[in-house]
């Protein structure tokens, strides 16, 4: 064997040993990354391991890894430059143009052209990540390296996507638990039995939107025979609204006996709401007090949908009052309405879920239709009236759905 042949054979063996060593390093790195994923390391640590792998094992001198977060692309890891200098927003259109690994030698984009190749990671044609690689040596087998980098990139991306989905699942589970708690709290606050006697009858409809709403109604029967009843629409949903409702109910029951006049009561109630919400939430409110002995109805409307009073063949709107509660320190004015109830009457209290109901043609309920329905059915009991109302609304809306909480409190005065 000639010296030249021997030297060539030794060089071949050395090259094979280097390649074998490189493969061993790659396998070890793959094992380390897999173990890290199984150990649930933080995303930042995975990015560091990925960057280290590309730099040391793959000899990559320039890299940019892009991930989607909150529906926007951002540079999650980088080699050879400061990732904060990358305008991912400007790159969005360029990124999504790549659907498979591409050689970037012909790219004219100022950012992209500094790299050799781009590797997109897709799931069902939806891009999850993009990695730009550059700085390979001319004598290197870039193809085999890109293949292995693609494998590692896919593993890292899927692991991070699984973390994101798991976090999202936990957040949704917590939200469901919160909504369940809020719904249970709410159900405890809405009276499950309403009074009915020779003088008056109350009946309610309570249909929260998405199981948890901000609507509330209540009543108090006084020892002297008077009846106070109310309805409110609290801004917001979830536990926060349910807690506000709970505090509001407590204040309604504790403050009302302290005042002989509804105006003073509503002013005090506004202060109580403001202390709870710090001005960050408000509510609309209507409260009425009926005295069977004098047949006088007094009320205050605090920015609420105007209730309808059907009496003597006419419909009256109960609009006297003030602004919403909880929006300002002092109410600018508080007016009290007073009506003498002549003969049988019916009072319909509702939240804006009724006034804002639309049908399949995107039409609202006409007030003339509403007044006509009230007059036509004013002779019914409160419970029968509500039953008719539900049927009429179902007929009106057709296949459309309630877009907000739907709450009604009907008071029949005999």
Question: Do 387 and 330 fall within a single domain?
Answer: yes
pLDDT of 20: 64
Q: In percent, how much of the chain has pLDDT > 90?
A: 50
Averaged pLDDT, 366-387: 89
pLDDT the model gives residue 361: 67
Span 379-392, pLDDT tens digits: 999 999 999 998 98
Whether 290 is covered by a domain: the verdict is yes
Read off the pLDDT band of 350 (50, 70, 90): very high
Name which residue leads in pLDDT, 346 or 53. 346
Is the pTM higher than 0.75? The answer reads no
Domain C-terminal end among 109, 139, 164: 164
CA distance 367 to 102: 64
- Report the alpha-carbon distance of residue 290 to residue 228 in Å, rounded: 6
In a domain, 77, yes or no: yes
Confidence tier at 57 by pLDDT (50, 70, 90): confident
The SS3 of residue 287 is strand
- Residue 359: which of 396, 392, 402, 391 has the closest Cα? 396
* pLDDT at site 4: 57
Total structural domains within the chain: 2
Summarised one tens digit per residue, pLDDT across range 226-245 is 999 999 998 877 677 778 88
Q: Is residue 80 part of a domain?
A: yes
Shared domain for 29 and 135, answered yes or no, is yes
| CA separation for the pair 85, 21 (Å, rounded) | 36
Residue at 173 is within a domain: no
> In Å, what is the CA distance from 25 to each residue of 129, 191, 344?
25, 70, 91
- What pLDDT, on the 0 to 100 scale, is given for residue 340? 98
Task: Considering only residues 289 and 108, tell me which one the structure prediction assigns the higher pLDDT.
Answer: 289
Phi–psi pair at 224, nearest 5 degrees: -85, 5
Q: Are 284 and 244 in contact (CB under 8 A)?
A: no
Asked if residue 193 and residue 143 are part of one domain, the reply reads no
As a whole-number percent, the residues of the chain with pLDDT over 70 amount to 84
As a whole number, the mean pLDDT across the chain is 86
- pLDDT score for 224: 96
CATH number of the domain bearing residue 9: 3.30.450.40
> Of residues 222 and 83, which shows the higher confidence score?
222
| CATH classification of the domain holding 205 | 3.60.40.10
What is residue 315's three-state secondary structure? strand
Q: Are residues 143 and 184 in the same domain?
A: no
Q: What is the rounded distance in angstroms from the CA atom of residue 322 to the CA atom of residue 125?
A: 57
Domain that holds residue 23: 3-164
Pair (112, 192) in one structural domain: no
181 confidence band (pLDDT: 50, 70, 90): confident
Read off the pLDDT band of 338 (50, 70, 90): very high
């Amino acid at each position: 064997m000639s010296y030249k042949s021997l030297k060539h054979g030794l060089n071949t063996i050395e090259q094979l040993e280097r390649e074998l060593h490189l493969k061993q390093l790659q396998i070890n790195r793959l094992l380390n990354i897999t173990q890290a994923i199984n150990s649930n390391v933080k995303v930042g640590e995975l990015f560091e391991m990925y960057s280290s792998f590309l730099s040391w094992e793959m000899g990559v001198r320039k890299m940019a890894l892009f991930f989607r977060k909150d529906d926007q692309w951002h540079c999650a890891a980088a080699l050879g430059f400061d990732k904060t200098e990358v305008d991912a927003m400007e790159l969005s259109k360029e990124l999504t143009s790549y659907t498979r690994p591409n050689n970037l030698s012909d790219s004219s984009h100022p950012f992209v052209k500094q790299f050799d190749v781009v590797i997109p990671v897709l799931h069902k044609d939806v891009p999850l990540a993009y990695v730009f690689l550059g700085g390979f040596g001319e004598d290197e087998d870039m193809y085999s390296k890109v293949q292995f980098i693609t494998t590692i990139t896919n593993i890292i991306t899927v692991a991070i996507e699984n973390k994101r989905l798991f976090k999202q699942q936990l957040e949704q589970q917590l939200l469901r638990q919160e909504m369940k708690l809020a719904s249970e709290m709410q159900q405890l606050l809405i009276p499950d039995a309403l009074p009915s006697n020779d003088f008056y009858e109350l009946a309610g409809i309570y249909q929260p939107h998405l199981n948890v709403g901000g609507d509330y109604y209540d009543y108090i029967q006084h020892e002297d025979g008077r009846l106070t009843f109310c309805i409110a629409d609290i801004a917001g949903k979830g536990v926060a609204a349910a807690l506000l409702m709970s505090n509001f109910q407590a204040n309604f029951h504790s403050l009302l006996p302290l005042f002989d006049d509804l105006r003073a009561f509503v002013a005090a109630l506004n202060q109580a709401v403001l202390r709870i919400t710090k001005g960050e939430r408000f509510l609309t409110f209507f409260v009425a007090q009926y005295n069977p002995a004098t047949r006088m109805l007094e009320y205050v409307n605090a920015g609420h949908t105007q209730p309808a009073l059907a009496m003597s063949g006419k419909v009256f709107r109960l609009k006297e009052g003030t602004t919403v509660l909880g929006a300002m320190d002092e109410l600018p004015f508080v007016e009290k309405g007073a009506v003498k109830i002549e003969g049988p009457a019916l009072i319909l209290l509702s939240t804006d879920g009724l006034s804002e109901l639309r049908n399949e043609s995107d039409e609202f309920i006409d007030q003339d239709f509403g007044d006509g329905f009230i007059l036509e059915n004013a002779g019914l009991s409160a419970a029968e009236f509500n039953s008719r109302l539900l049927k009429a609304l179902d007929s009106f809306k057709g296949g459309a759905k309630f877009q907000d909480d739907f709450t009604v409190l009907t008071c029949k005065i005999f």
